[in-house]
């Protein structure tokens, strides 16, 4: 195939060799993740200067373009889809999900409307049923596929706003927020920052947000629940971002539902606990909520990016997010854009379907159980050592600290610079901490032993030497 329309009559051959080269480079990358430095070397970072250039005046050979990415781009990636990366609750990529992603990218489908891509629409319909079944959510629940749980939370809270104003008989579609009765939002003071961002985008101010007291692991204290204002949204957590803790849904949700509030559960990685027998108790009562947000690219190990918004009130979600136009050719097929902020969207349903089809119910449960088992193994390795365990039984999250903040931060820097493992830090209840999230299907007990050894080595490197004996 030639591009005869290029200026000056230039022609670039798009050959099978080009796609083959891309596949080979990707296969090499994926199969060498365990041997790669988890964070790029200084030489690799310096090599990125090759990309700091003016736009070329003339077309460039496509082989050169691809080769530049492979030569200078790949070494400067973090091996975040590999077994030794424990930062930011980042999942890996199941091989079948990655392969399906490649196929879906080749199809290059726009999943806004069923008429645009019948296969994307069918797969969305299928995974909606599968996910709601796995998570034990009400039959009427609908699902939208978005980029991640940040947008999923935004979508769910938009549906909550629509639902509450409909119940209050406020004509939001005509008058918007100007003069509207206030909506008050309540939640634990340990909520993820994406919630604040979503609420701000939706027009809520700080005076409408009421962040309530939590325990040492970030769980909302039921005793901290006030009498709710009319038109209320209560946000709960399935997996606190640092500790992995779950709110007590069975106790809290009936109290707030009795006051007419909408309940949203932010469960970016933790919502999947409902799909595993060993962790299902953490989600007891969560099916009583009105909406949920979760990522497939975290615990489920679908490639980035794939987030899910789930809502038991289809009309509220669709009213909040749908768009209309005479050019939007509607059909009896599923129109995915009705459940998402985006209209044009890639077909995320392809890799999500592939992952769930491959794993099945028992495979999903096994994957979740594997992560939790490895987290328990790491806790036992670190117990009775220099690190203090901040959380106990935190799903797939391990949170630790050394005696002093300066030591904790120095140990984290040591670990990040080692190239052997990588994790992120945070401040938890005024204390510097190291966050370890075990979320990759490739991580084994051997990797956890290596991690424990590296963490002990880091602690020894930053702690003062004991005084010499006289």
Torsion of Cα atoms, 329 then 334 then 339 then 345, to 10°: -70
Closest of 403, 362, 345, 381 to residue 453, by C-alpha: 381
Q: Look up the CATH number of the domain holding residue 210.
A: 3.40.640.10
Residue 465: pLDDT over 80: no
C-alpha span between 49 and 44 (Å, rounded): 10
Same structural domain for residues 173 and 122? yes
Percentage of the residues of the chain whose pLDDT score is greater than 70 = 94
Give the phi and the psi of residue 428 in degrees, each rounded to 5. Answer: -120, 115
* The 3-state secondary structure of the chain, one letter per residue: CCCCCCHHHCCCCCCHHHHHHHHHHHHHHHHCHHHCCCCCCHHHHHHHHHHCCCCCCCCCCHHHHHHHHHHHHHHHCCCCCCCCECCCCCCCCCHHHHHHHHHHHHHCCECCCCCCCHHHHHHHHHHHHHHHHHCCCCCCCEEEEECCHHHHHHHHHHHHHHHHHHHCCCCHHHHCCCCCCCCEEEEECCCCHHHHHHHHHCCCCHHHEEEECECCCCCECHHHCCCCCCCEEEEEEECCCCCCCECCHHHHHHHHHCCCCEEEEECCCHHHHHHCCCCHHHHCCHHHCCEEEEECCCCCCCCCCCEEEEECCHHHHHHHHCCCCCCCCCCCCCCHHHHCCCCCCECCHHHHHHHHHHHHHHHHHHHHHHHHHHHHHHHHHHCCCCCEECCCCCCCEEEEECCCHHHHHHHHHHHHHHCCCECEEEEECCEEEEEEECCCCCCCHHHHHHHHHHHHHHHHHHCCCCCCCC
Q: What is the pLDDT of residue 327?
A: 62
Same structural domain for residues 435 and 331? no
Asked if residue 329 is part of any domain, the answer here is yes
Asked if residue 53 is part of any domain, the answer here is no
Tokens of 206: 């700080």
pLDDT tens column, 239-289: 999 999 999 999 999 999 999 999 999 999 999 999 999 999 999 999 999
Same structural domain for residues 399 and 428? yes
Structural domain of 309: 98-355
Q: What is the pLDDT of residue 164?
A: 98
C-alpha span between 358 and 367 (Å, rounded): 12
Asked if residue 265 is part of any domain, the answer here is yes
Same structural domain for residues 288 and 381? no
Same structural domain for residues 412 and 373? yes
Closest of 440, 447, 444, 459 to residue 402, by C-alpha: 459
Among the candidates 321, 355, 389, a domain finishes at 355
Among the candidates 323, 355, 387, a domain finishes at 355
Same structural domain for residues 328 and 379? no
Same structural domain for residues 390 and 244? no
- Look at 193 and 439; give whichever has higher pLDDT: 439
Percentage of the residues of the chain whose pLDDT score is greater than 90 = 89
Asked if residue 182 is part of any domain, the answer here is yes
Same structural domain for residues 163 and 290? yes
> What are the residues whose beta carbons fall under 8 Å from the beta carbon of 464, sequence distance 6 or more?
none
| pLDDT-wise least confident of 60-64, 95-99, 440-444, 452-456 | 60-64
CB-based contacts of 53-61 (< 8 A; 24+ apart in sequence): 58/7, 58/8, 58/10, 59/3, 59/6, 59/7, 59/10, 59/12, 61/12
Asked if residue 284 is part of any domain, the answer here is yes
C-alpha span between 361 and 117 (Å, rounded): 27
Mean pLDDT score of the chain: 93
Closest of 25, 24, 94 to residue 306, by C-alpha: 94
Q: What is the pLDDT of residue 325?
A: 72
Q: What is the pLDDT of residue 373?
A: 97
pLDDT tens column, 332-361: 789 999 999 999 999 999 999 999 999 999
Residue 330: pLDDT over 70: no
What is the layout of strands, in order, in the sheet containing 291-295?
142-146, 307-311, 291-295, 262-266, 232-237, 184-188, 209-212
Residue 21: pLDDT over 70: yes
Same structural domain for residues 344 and 366? no
Same structural domain for residues 181 and 149? yes
The residue-averaged pLDDT of 369-375 equals 97
Q: What is the pLDDT of residue 392?
A: 87
Q: Look up the CATH number of the domain holding residue 378.
A: 3.90.1150.10
Give the phi and the psi of residue 322 in degrees, each rounded to 5. Answer: -75, 160
Q: What is the pLDDT of residue 329?
A: 66
The residue-averaged pLDDT of 301-314 equals 97
Residue 397: pLDDT over 80: yes
Burial class of 285 by CB neighbour count within 10 A (0 to 12, 13 to 18, 19+): middle
Closest of 423, 419, 383, 406 to residue 462, by C-alpha: 406
Asked if residue 15 is part of any domain, the answer here is no
Number of domains observed in the structure of the chain = 2
Asked if residue 23 is part of any domain, the answer here is no
Residue 387: pLDDT over 80: yes
C-alpha span between 232 and 462 (Å, rounded): 48
Same structural domain for residues 201 and 172? yes
Asked if residue 41 is part of any domain, the answer here is no
| Residue 285 contacts residue 249 (beta carbons within 8 Å) | yes
pLDDT tens column, 145-200: 999 999 999 999 999 999 999 999 999 999 999 999 999 999 999 999 899 999 99
Same structural domain for residues 291 and 418? no
Q: What is the pTM of this model?
A: 0.94
Among the candidates 302, 320, 355, a domain finishes at 355
């Amino acid at each position: 195939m030639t591009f005869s329309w290029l200026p000056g009559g230039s022609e670039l051959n798009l050959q099978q060799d080009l796609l083959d080269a891309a596949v080979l480079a990707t296969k090499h990358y994926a199969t060498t993740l365990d041997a790669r430095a988890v964070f790029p070397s200084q030489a690799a970072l310096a090599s990125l200067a090759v990309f700091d250039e003016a736009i070329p005046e003339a077309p460039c050979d496509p082989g050169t373009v691809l080769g530049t990415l492979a030569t200078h781009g790949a070494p400067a990636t973090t091996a975040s889809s590999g077994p030794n990366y424990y930062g930011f609750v980042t999942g890996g990529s199941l091989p079948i999900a990655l392969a399906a992603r490649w196929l879906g990218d080749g199809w290059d489908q726009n999943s806004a409307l069923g008429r645009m891509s019948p296969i994307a629409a069918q797969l969305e319909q299928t995974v909606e049923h599968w996910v709601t079944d796995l998570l034990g959510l009400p039959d009427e629940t609908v699902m939208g596929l978005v980029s991640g749980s940040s947008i999923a939370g935004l979508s769910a809270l938009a549906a909550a706003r629509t639902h509450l104003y409909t119940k209050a008989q406020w004509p939001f579609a005509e008058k918007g927020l100007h003069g509207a009765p206030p909506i008050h939002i309540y939640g634990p003071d340990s909520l993820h920052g994406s919630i604040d961002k979503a609420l701000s985008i939706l027009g809520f101010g700080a005076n409408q947000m009421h962040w309530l007291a939590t325990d040492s692991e970030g769980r909302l204290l039921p005793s901290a629940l006030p009498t709710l204002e009319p038109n209320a949204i209560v946000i709960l957590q399935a997996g606190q971002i640092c500790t992995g803790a779950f709110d007590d849904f069975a106790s809290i949700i009936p109290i707030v539902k009795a006051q007419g509030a909408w309940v949203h559960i932010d469960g970016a990685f933790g919502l999947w606990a409902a799909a595993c027998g060993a962790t299902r108790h953490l989600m007891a009562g969560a099916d009583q909520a009105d909406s949920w947000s979760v990522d497939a690219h975290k615990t489920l190990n679908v490639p980035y990016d794939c987030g899910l918004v789930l809502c038991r009130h289809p009309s509220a979600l669709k009213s909040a997010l749908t768009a209309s136009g005479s050019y939007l050719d509607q059909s009896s097929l599923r129109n995915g854009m009705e459940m998402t902020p985006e209209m044009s969207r890639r077909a995320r349903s392809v890799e999500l379907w592939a992952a769930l089809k491959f794993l099945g119910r028992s495979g999903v449960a096994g994957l979740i159980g594997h992560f939790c088992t490895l987290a328990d193994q790491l806790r036992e390795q670190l117990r009775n050592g220099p690190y203090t365990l901040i959380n106990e039984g935190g799903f797939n999250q391990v949170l630790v600290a050394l005696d002093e903040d300066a030591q904790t931060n120095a140990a984290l820097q040591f670990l990040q610079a080692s190239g052997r493992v990588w994790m992120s830090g945070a401040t938890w209840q005024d204390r510097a901490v190291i966050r370890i999230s075990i979320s990759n299907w490739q991580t084994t007990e051997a990797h956890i032993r290596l991690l424990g050894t590296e963490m002990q080595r880091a602690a020894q490197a930053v702690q003062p030497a004991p005084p010499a004996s006289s």
